Amino acid sequence: MGKEFERTERVSQFLHRELAYLLQTAVRDPRVQQVNLTGVEVSRDLSHAKVFFTLMDDATPEERAETTRVLEKVAGFLRSQLAKASSMRTVPRLGFRFDESVGRGRDMESLLKEVRRADEHLATMTPSSPESDSSAE
């Protein structure tokens, strides 16, 4: 069982590396130039791979959908290029998904910064506490 996991992990890393290279060098569509791959999940039988991506700049849902459509269109070409670059018997079918987690992480980071600023603002507004009254007992 451990060996199977190791193999899927190796295939996943290979696909991630090669797809990132191919998207930057072999695909000429300008809509794909802003794509950043965040991960690849390969099924246990190595027949399918989910490729997760984000876009460099904040994209609208329409731009995300359009980029996903473009990537799905070039999936066959990418798969054939992967077959040439690898010694795998079969190359997994590629499915592209927009990775929402990066955007959620950015949103969480901005919320945390906002909370820190609010805490700092409250700390400067509150006078330092005098000696506690419990010592008078």
Alpha-carbon gap, residue 31 to 118, rounded angstroms: 39
More confident residue, 48 or 127: 48
- The pLDDT score that the predictor gives to residue 2 is 53
User: In degrees, to the nearest 5, what angle opens at C-alpha 68 toward C-alphas 66 and 69?
Assistant: 65
Question: In the structure, what pLDDT confidence band is assigned to residue 96 with cuts at 50, 70 and 90?
Answer: very high
Class of domain 2-99: alpha beta
Question: What pTM was estimated for this model as a whole?
Answer: 0.73
Torsional class of 21: left (φ above 0), alpha (ψ -120 to 50), beta (otherwise): alpha
- The pLDDT score that the predictor gives to residue 125 is 81
